[in-house]
Amino acid sequence: MGYLASFLTTLWLTSTAAQLGFIQDLTKEVTKRIQNEVQAVVDPLEKTVAYIGSSHCKHVKKLLGVTYDNYAYSGPDLSKLTLVFTTRAKTVTYNLTLAPEEIPKERWFNPALPFRIFLHGFTDDPSKSSYQTISSAFLKQDDVNILALDASSLIRWFYLRSTVMVQFIGERLGSVLAALVPAGLEASKIHLIGHSLGSHIAGFTAKTFYNQTGQRVGRISSLDPAGPCFSNLEVDLRLSKEDANFVDVIHTDAGVFGLNEAIGHVDFYPNGGSEQPNCLFPTCSHSRAWLLYAESVLLPESFVGAQCLSWKQFMKGNCDFKDTSVMGYYCPTDSRGKYDLQTSDESPFGLKEAGLTYANNASIIKNIQNLVMAWTGLDLPSYHPDQIHD
C-alpha cells in the first residue's frame, strides 16, 4: 500500500479547501475498493467451508440425532408459531394454530385479494429489518394484505436443527392455508416470499397445501434460498419449481449462505450471484436479496436481467440481450431460465437497462486514478502492480 498511501498523503498536503470535499469522497471510494479486494480473497475460502459443511450435513445430523424422523415421533413444539398481519394502521398477531378460525372472521380478510406471507430466515423474526423493509414497500405501494410467519422460536439457534424444523413449520403453515380454502381463499392468490431458510419453509408449505387440496399455490418468491444442508438434495427435501405455479429466485450469496443451484422457473444472479458490491462479508450479500426485492416493489423496472450462460459471459457481453426479464416483484410469470445483471453498490440498487452492461468496479488503483483524472483533468503517472504490495 506504499504507493497508495504516498499518493493520498501528497494529495492531502497540497490541497486547497475546495479540494477537501473531493478527498473525502475519494476516501470513501478507497474503502469500498479495499472491501472488494479483500472479498475476492475471502470468498473462495468461505465457499469451500460452506460446501464441506453442506456435503456432510446429512451424516452430521444423523450422528447428532437431529433428523426429521427423530423429531417426528414426539413432534416439535409448534405452539409458539404466529402470523403477524400488518396494515398502515395496525399490526395484529394470530397464533398459527388458531388462525383458520380467527382470520376468516376479520374484516380485512378478502379472498379476492393477493394473500402474501413473508417467511424469514435463520435467527430472524418479523420485528427485524427484512420483514419491516419488505412490508413497508408493499404498504407504500398500496394498503395491501401482508403477513409474516414468526418461526423464530424454532429457527433462532443451532442451524442444523433449524434445517430440520423448516419442514415441520412448512407443513403446519400449509395445513393452515388449506383450512382457509373453504372460507374462500384461492390458491392462485397465495404468494409466499421467503428469505434463506424461509424459502424452504415456503417449499414445504406449498407441498403440504398441494397434498391437502390438490391445488398449487400461485407464486413463491425465493430470496437467496439457504444453501448449507440444502445443496444437491432431492426436490421433496427443499424448495422446487414444482411447488407453485411460478417460482422466481434471486441469488445473492450463492455458494456460501445461499444456494447456487437454479431451482426456480426463473433464477436471477445479480452481480454474479455470489457476492454483492460494497459487501465485505457473506451476511451482507445474503441480506442484499431482500433489499433488492423491496426496491423492486416500489420501482417496477429497476432490475433488468439478460439470459446468459454464465457471469463470465455476461462480463464479456456475450449474452442474449434480446431475451431480458425484470427481476423482483414484477417479474413476468412466463419468464424461464437463468438471468444475469449488475446493480449499484448502494440504494437505489437498480440500474435499469444500464445494468445489462458490465462495468468493472473491482480494482482500487484504477478507480482512484479515474476519479482523480476526472476531477483534475491531469494524467497520473503509471505504476507497477508490485508497488501496492510493499
Asked if 136 is an active-site residue, the reply is: no
Given 125, 224, 253, 267, the catalytic residue = 224
Encode pLDDT of 105-159 as tens digits. Answer: 998 888 888 999 999 999 999 999 999 999 999 999 876 779 999 999 999 999 9
Task: Locate the domains of the chain by residue range.
Answer: 56-359
- With cut-offs at 50, 70 and 90, classify the pLDDT of residue 371: low
Encode pLDDT of 257-305 as tens digits. Answer: 999 999 999 999 999 999 999 998 999 999 999 999 999 999 999 999 9
CATH fold group of domain 56-359: Rossmann fold (3.40.50)
Asked if 54 is an active-site residue, the reply is: no
For residues 83 and 215, what is the distance between their CA atoms, to the nearest angstrom?
22
Q: How distant, in Å, are the alpha carbons of 45, 55, 259 from that of 252?
A: 17, 21, 9
- With cut-offs at 50, 70 and 90, classify the pLDDT of residue 363: very low
Helix (H, G, I), strand (E, B) or coil at 41: helix
Residue linked to cell 413449520: 169
- With cut-offs at 50, 70 and 90, classify the pLDDT of residue 58: confident
Report whether the peptide linkage leading into residue 114 is cis, meaning its omega lies within 30 degrees of zero. Answer: no
The whole-chain average pLDDT of the chain stands at: 85
- With cut-offs at 50, 70 and 90, classify the pLDDT of residue 75: confident
Asked if 199 is an active-site residue, the reply is: no
Q: Which of 27, 158, 32, 183 is nearest to 101 (CA)?
A: 183
- Mark residue 324 as left, alpha or beta (left: phi above 0; alpha: psi -120 to 50; beta: remaining): beta
Given 130, 175, 196, 325, the catalytic residue = 196
Q: Please tell me the predicted confidence (pLDDT) of residue 8.
A: 47
Around Cβ 341, how many Cβ atoms within 10 Å?
Answer: 30
Question: Bigger pLDDT: 200 or 367?
Answer: 200
Given 286, 287, 296, 302, the catalytic residue = 286
Please work out, in degrees rounded to the nearest 5, the angle formed at the alpha carbon of residue 218 by the alpha carbons of 164 and 75: 25
Q: Which of 247, 249, 243, 258 is nearest to 207 (CA)?
A: 243
